[in-house]
Amino acid sequence: MIKILFAASEAHPLVKTGGLGDVAGSLPAALRRLHQDVRLILPAYRSILERLPDAAVTAQFEVPGAPDTVRLRQATLADDGVPVYLVDVPALFDRPGGPYSDPQGREWYDNALRFATYCRAVVQVATNHAGLDWAPDVVHCNDWQSGLVPPLLMREPRRPATVFTIHNLAYQGVFTWDTFQYLRLPADLWSMHALEFYGGFSFIKGGLVFSDRLTTVSPTYAREICTPEFGAGLDGVLRSRADRLEGILNGVDYRVWDPARDTLIPHRYTARAMQGKQQNKVALQKRMDLAMGPRTPLFGHVGRMVEQKGIDLIIDALPALMEEDLQIVILGSGDPRLERELQDAAARWVGRLGVHIGYDEALAHLVEAGSDAFLMPSRFEPCGLNQLYSLRYGTIPIVRRTGGLADTVVDADAETLRSGAATGFVFDEAAPAPLVAAVARAAEHYRNPPVWRDLIGNAMRQDFSWRRSAQAYLALYRRL
Ligand code: ADP
């Protein structure tokens, strides 16, 4: 049995802003089902403490730079029994708003101090200095918020092995020299071979340089981030560590995302009994004020409204798309300019384009269940989860050939349709015209029911369960 401390800044269902939350909620549970001793460690945000009012203090210690004593609280993740440690420093984490930004959506001014303190607390636990009488074999860090853990652990005489997973290289935690000093980080970490990054310093670089092993969330993204186009300034660092870097696809929590047992959708269905899907389509059309049309192909999209996701490509493609006989629903929030453009577009194409600005878990499930196809024209996509959900919901994904999208969706052509491998529609260039062409191709197949039924069957048969991914991580831990 391997002892794993899993460090992440969000974990479903306690707190989630995106894919990292899904992974940190599911992977530890999957490892536990493989009989490993895995424990999660998160910042004790107010929203988490409200959900876990009984999380008792199990340890107390000081870390440099923190405004207060760190209290470590302990709880258990509801269904799965995964122990959770909460790093409680009220001055840093007991506030309204999200994990990274205030209620107005502005990044917290003291994020460097918040996550440096979190990292230092993780190091205390990892080195068994927190008084828990538990010493992990492996610390598994995730994204920039835990990026200082590996460099700080390197300085410890006895330390566990470290794994660092990149969920999205675009978010790096870059701060200034003044902040570096204010955080009282060890002076020798200010070096181009350590944290220094173009005159500032970068949390994520600490993870990339000092971890024993690096992973990211798909094989294609692992290759892409070693190139200048996708490397976000860190491709050189990653190329120098390419022998330590591998891609492991994320899994899907099929207890939450499966139309046969989804409790958030009005009508459940399976590959054999698909009537429910048609009923969900009606429910979705009603909910989004679309014209009723059982035979009009309905294309869904859910995601953060940022350029990464190619939502601007969808917006630019709308005039051409709306020429076709189809409907589109879009759920998301993010860049206020993109939100406004979409709302304007919805006012222009009433009854054909439905837009909901906001974060709505239940509606996300209904979009997956009620749409015929799902749009994911991402410019880059480390893994992507919605296309995996779409496959399981028989909602044919239309994706750009990048990152995890390239690894999980098989384009429908004569050959793949014949062999039963086809699961979606894939296009290459990040521009509106190729997206429109892919949608037109999907709409054409949709009008051929036997072919569309085959596609749905192929999609719903795909297995992206966590068990597989967890086994790959376990093999990696064992190699350490
Ligand atoms: P990323 O992590 O880059 O945001 P992923 O596809 O990996 O993208 O994961 C996104 C997750 O967040 C999915 O579970 C998706 O359903 C969810 N999500 C994103 N935006 C919304 C929203 N507006 N409402 C509900 N769920 C959302």
- Return the C-alpha torsion angle 157, 159, 163, 166, nearest 10: -60
Token look-up 């490892």 returns 31
> Does ligand 1 have an atom closer than 6 angstroms to the CB of 142?
no
**CA of 381, closest atom in ligand 1:** 3
CB of 19 closer than 6 angstroms to any ligand 1 atom = yes
Cα(26) to centroid of ligand 1, in Å?
A: 15
Domain assignments of the chain as residue spans, ordered by start: 3-251+466-479, 275-460
Q: Which CATH class is domain 3-251+466-479?
A: alpha beta
Q: Is the pLDDT of residue 79 over 90?
A: no
pLDDT at residue 89 is higher than 90? yes
Quick: pLDDT tens for 268-313: 999 999 999 999 999 999 999 999 999 999 999 999 999 999 999 9
CB neighbours (10 Å) of residue 421?
13
Residue in the structure block whose two tokens are 């209904």: 366
Closest CA to 334 of 367, 362, 365, 356: 356
* Cα 134 to middle of ligand 1, angstroms: 34
| Cβ 18 under 6 angstroms from ligand 1 | yes
Whether residue 116 contacts residue 172, with contact meaning beta carbons closer than 8 Å, is answered with no
Contact 373, 287 (CB under 8 A): no
Answer yes or no: is pLDDT of 163 > 80: yes
pLDDT score of 440 more than 80: yes
Rg from Cα positions in the chain? 23
70-76 vs 56-61, strand pairing mode: antiparallel
From the CA of 302, how far away is ligand 1's center (Å)? 7
Q: Is 304 in the pocket of ligand 1 (CB under 6 A)?
A: yes
Give the pTM: 0.94
Q: Whose CA is nearest to atom 24 of ligand 1?
A: 359
pLDDT at 338: 97
Backbone angles phi, psi at 57, to 5 degrees: -75, 125
Residue pLDDT, tens place only, 91-101: 999 999 999 99
Please choose from 256, 359, 363 the residue to mutate so as to test ligand 1's pocket, defined by most ligand atoms within 8 A of CB. Answer: 359
Q: Which residues pair with 301 in a beta bridge?
A: 330
Position 78 scores a pLDDT of 73
β-pair partners for 395: none
Is pLDDT of 197 > 80? yes
Q: Which CATH superfamily is domain 275-460 in?
A: Glycogen Phosphorylase B; (3.40.50.2000)
**Percent of the chain whose predicted confidence (pLDDT) is above 70:** 100
User: Does the CB atom of residue 357 touch ligand 1 within 6 A?
Assistant: no
| pLDDT tens readout for residues 393-434 | 999 999 999 999 999 999 999 999 999 999 999 999 999 999
* Per-residue pLDDT band at 32 (split at 50, 70, 90): very high
Gap between the Cα atoms of 62 and 124, Å rounded: 9
User: Could you tell me whether strands 161-166 and 200-202 are parallel, antiparallel, or unpaired per DSSP bridges?
Assistant: unpaired
What is the pLDDT at residue 362? 97
Q: How confident is the model at residue 208 (pLDDT cuts 50, 70, 90)?
A: very high
Going by C-beta distance under 8 Å and a sequence separation of 6 or more, which residues neighbour residue 221?
230, 247, 380, 381, 382, 383, 403, 404
Centroid of ligand 1 to alpha carbon of 16 (angstroms): 9
Whether residue 266 is preceded by a cis peptide bond, meaning omega within 30 degrees of 0, is no
Q: Do 3-251+466-479 and 275-460 have matching folds? A: yes
Per DSSP (E only), the strands in 3-69 are: 3-7, 37-43, 56-61
Phi, psi of 82 (to 5 degrees): -75, 125
Given a cut of 80, whether residue 366 has pLDDT beyond it is: yes
How many angstroms is it from 357 CA to the middle of ligand 1? 13
Query: What SS3 state is found at 239?
Result: helix
Distance 356 CA to ligand 1 centre (A): 14
State the pLDDT at residue 47: 96
Q: Which atom of ligand 1 is nearest to the CA of 356?
A: 23
Q: Can you give the pLDDT at residue 80? A: 82
* Alpha helix segments (H runs only) across 87-155: 90-93, 111-126, 149-154
464 contacts 408 by C-beta, under 8 angstroms: yes
Q: 334 CB less than 6 Å from ligand 1?
A: no
* CA end-to-end distance (rounded Å), the chain: 13
Q: Which residue has the tokens 């306690």?
A: 14
